[in-house]
Structure 1
Amino acid sequence: MTAWNPAVHLPELVDFFDAGVFIVDLEHRVVLWNKFMAQKTGRSAAEVIGKPLFELFPDLPQKWLEKKLDSVATLKNYSFTSWEQRPWLFQFSHNRPMTGGIDYMRQNCVFVPLKGPGSEEVEFVSVTIFDATDNAIYQTQLAEALKTLEESSITDGLTKIFNRRHLTERMNGEFSRAVRGKTGLALIMFDLDHFKKINDTYGHLGGDEVLKEVAKRVKDLLRTQDVFGRYGGEEFCILLPDTNLEGGVIVADRIRSAICAEPMQFGNQQIPVSASLGVTIYVHGMPGHETMVQLADEALYECKRNGRNCVSSKLPEASATATPIVIT
């Protein structure tokens, strides 16, 4: 019976693996190269064995891989790197549909220190590359689905801004932050003037286009930290962190101007639109964000009484009274 000869039998064995296997010495010269690696790189074992890995494949992440190989040899312990940490070692193609959103084969890599023949010292490091593309596609699709689900749960389907439920949650959070930090917080409530007439004249599709365009125009005026949502119907709400009453009124009037500056386009028709806006701010001692909503809503209806297309502000009775700003 022929004795086991690693030099002969090990390469034959690893050629049957459905994974990439190669071994390098401490100078990073290739000493083993299985069939999987040959097929994926287009270079046979005869072409690569005995040659420096990084000269053969200059596209490898040399600095990172050298450090990984050397640390495995020095610490005499194996190491694992997942595709989530580093998507690939070699830029191998894959046979999955491109609709999966994956460009190159995703790879999990295992690094194992190997002792030399008759030695207790590590003289080689083996690297095994597993194809993790299917798992990566599933994980990516799952993450995208969860993200879409999360967005749909907090977003108004028509205008693509925050819905009322999420808006209320953010109100509560920003109100608490203002209380704790004694920072400014302004709130704007606004609705579209004579919106029922718009729906009656142009139909609900026309009304929907108006709501979408209003949301777009307003969003373009706001900062990243501002919170903008649809409160219901044609009524909208904006939270302005770190903003005083004067700043809130200035923002509100910019919004009013942007809404009525140009008619909304609906097919070949143009729909003139204006809005009434109520502004308030957090005042020390307020019991909750509901008080801010009530004050801003009262200021909004003050606008209605003053002819619409204007901005009005209101504070608690102990602080101030409504201050309408009528724009003609």
Structure 2
Amino acid sequence: MDQQDFSQLHWLTQLLHGIEVGLVVIDRDYQVQLWNGFMENHSGLSSKEVQSRSLFSLFPDLPQQWLISKLEAAFLMESRSFTVWEQRPWVFPFANPRPVTGGLSMMHQNMTIQPLTNSQGTISHAALLIYDVSVQAQDRQKLSQANDRLEQLSQIDALTGLANRRQWQRLLAQEFDRCRRYQPASCLVVIDIDHFKQVNDTLGHSMGDQVLNRLGELLKDSLRKTDVVARYGGEEFVLLLTETRQEASIKLAERLRQSVEQLVFAFMPSLKITISLGLCPYHHELEGTEQWFELADQALYKAKRQGRNRLVCFEPHNG
């Protein structure tokens, strides 16, 4: 080897040990033949400590069966293969070197497996290239979390924190399909605050918003986790009482009416509100969610015509 060849080899050795990519070369028995600086820094094991030792004895936590199948496929096909962190967050259990800024405790990795031939042209070794993609993974997770948050916000009424009309319609459709299939007893209740316009006109919309918010809290606290409560729009709220027969639903709705009648508002103790309610149980003649809601709404307006502050139940047998 002349001086130029020796210099090139020296440079290449420095490069392999200094690059910010893990490089591991193993033979067909999975014994380590090369272990660069990246792997030394993140594993705490020097190249001398790992030389000619089984990769799986050095790292018992490696996904052995999965990794062997990847290696043998690369040997057999004589072609590179790749893995990404979305499929398996990491291969080597290394700590994230930037846990504070990155937010991930473990280094997330992509990996390339490159088959290597010997001087006779036979596949005798494989190189594992380990890429630290923790920053990209964290950015992707933040984006996913932001999108999930936006999706959640799109389903929530900003004022009351209840489900909004869009989410309500989706949940109502699910319950209607479930009722049609399994025939459980469920009831839909539509609620409207009586004379709410007077609250806004005399006390202002800010006070009106507080009334809506307080009513939303009462409704949410009065129902079971399996029930659904939503703000349909304006001063109108809707309830979906699942697995609840008509008689029990009437009792629950009547208790709600009485609780609202007794509400005390901290910002104005003298303020009193009442609600009117329309209830419609699920029945087999219903053609869809629109008709179910329309019948409950008709019962609500019947309650208003009869003097408000009352509950009216739609009766399927008399329309």
TM-score normalised per structure 2 = 0.76
State the shift of 1:28 in Å: 5.1
- Residue in 2 that maps onto 1:30: 32
Partner amino acid, structure 2, of 1:110: T
CA distance in 1, matches of 2:198, 2:127: 75
Provide Cα deviations, 1:175-227, integer angstroms capped at 9, x if missing partner. 45544555544211012344344445654333223322332332344455544
CA distance in 2, matches of 1:206, 1:178: 39
Q: CA RMSD, aligned part only?
A: 3.8
State the shift of 1:147 in Å: 2.3
CA distance in 2, matches of 1:270, 1:10: 85
CA distance in 2, matches of 1:270, 1:24: 81
Matched, 1:67 2:65: yes
- Residue in 1 that maps onto 2:293: 293
Q: How does 1:85-104 map to 2 (within 5 A)?
A: 85-88=87-90, 89-95=92-98, 98=101, 101-104=103-106
Partner amino acid, structure 2, of 1:68: W
Partner amino acid, structure 2, of 1:161: L
Provide Cα deviations, 1:231-279, integer angstroms capped at 9, x if missing partner. 111111123445442243244235445545653444x868655433221
Measured at CA, do residues 286 and 79 of structure 1 come closer, stay the same or move farther in structure 2, by a change above 3 Å?
same
2:157–2:164 contact (8 Å) kept in structure 1: yes
- Residue in 1 that maps onto 2:164: 163
Q: How does 1:53-202 map to 2 (within 5 A)?
A: 53=55, 61-62=61-62, 64=63, 66-75=64-73, 76=75, 79-88=81-90, 89-95=92-98, 98=101, 101-112=103-114, 120=122, 124-172=125-173, 174-179=175-180, 182-200=183-201, 202=203
2:84–2:111 contact (8 Å) kept in structure 1: yes
CA distance in 1, matches of 2:57, 2:30: 10
2:194–2:275 contact (8 Å) kept in structure 1: yes
CA distance in 1, matches of 2:30, 2:257: 68
State the shift of 1:50 in Å: 3.9
- Residue in 1 that maps onto 2:283: 283
1:94–1:105 contact (8 Å) kept in structure 2: yes
The answer for unaligned runs of 5 or more in structure 1 is 322-328
Measured at CA, do residues 128 and 220 of structure 1 come closer, stay the same or move farther in structure 2, by a change above 3 Å?
farther
1:69–1:125 contact (8 Å) kept in structure 2: no
CA distance in 2, matches of 1:221, 1:25: 67
Measured at CA, do residues 259 and 81 of structure 1 come closer, stay the same or move farther in structure 2, by a change above 3 Å?
farther
Q: How does 1:1-40 map to 2 (within 5 A)?
A: 2=2, 12=14, 14-25=16-27, 29-40=31-42
2:257–2:309 contact (8 Å) kept in structure 1: yes
CA distance in 1, matches of 2:126, 2:229: 56
1:218–1:258 contact (8 Å) kept in structure 2: no
Partner amino acid, structure 2, of 1:91: F
Moved more, 79-88 or 176-185: 176-185
Partner amino acid, structure 1, of 2:112: V
CA distance in 1, matches of 2:262, 2:53: 71
2:96–2:108 contact (8 Å) kept in structure 1: no
Matched, 1:210 2:211: yes
Measured at CA, do residues 303 and 20 of structure 1 come closer, stay the same or move farther in structure 2, by a change above 3 Å?
same
Measured at CA, do residues 292 and 42 of structure 1 come closer, stay the same or move farther in structure 2, by a change above 3 Å?
same
State the shift of 1:55 in Å: 5.9
State the shift of 1:83 in Å: 1.4
Secondary structure class of the residue paired with 1:102:
coil
Partner amino acid, structure 2, of 1:70: I
- Residue in 2 that maps onto 1:230: 231
TM-score normalised per structure 1 = 0.74
Secondary structure class of the residue paired with 1:154:
coil
CA distance in 1, matches of 2:221, 2:292: 24
Q: How does 1:254-293 map to 2 (within 5 A)?
A: 254-256=255-257, 259=260, 262-266=263-267, 272-293=272-293
1:15–1:36 contact (8 Å) kept in structure 2: yes
Partner amino acid, structure 1, of 2:70: V
Measured at CA, do residues 206 and 49 of structure 1 come closer, stay the same or move farther in structure 2, by a change above 3 Å?
farther
2:25–2:33 contact (8 Å) kept in structure 1: yes
The answer for unaligned runs of 5 or more in structure 2 is none
CA distance in 1, matches of 2:111, 2:269: 61
Q: Number of residue pairs matched?
A: 311
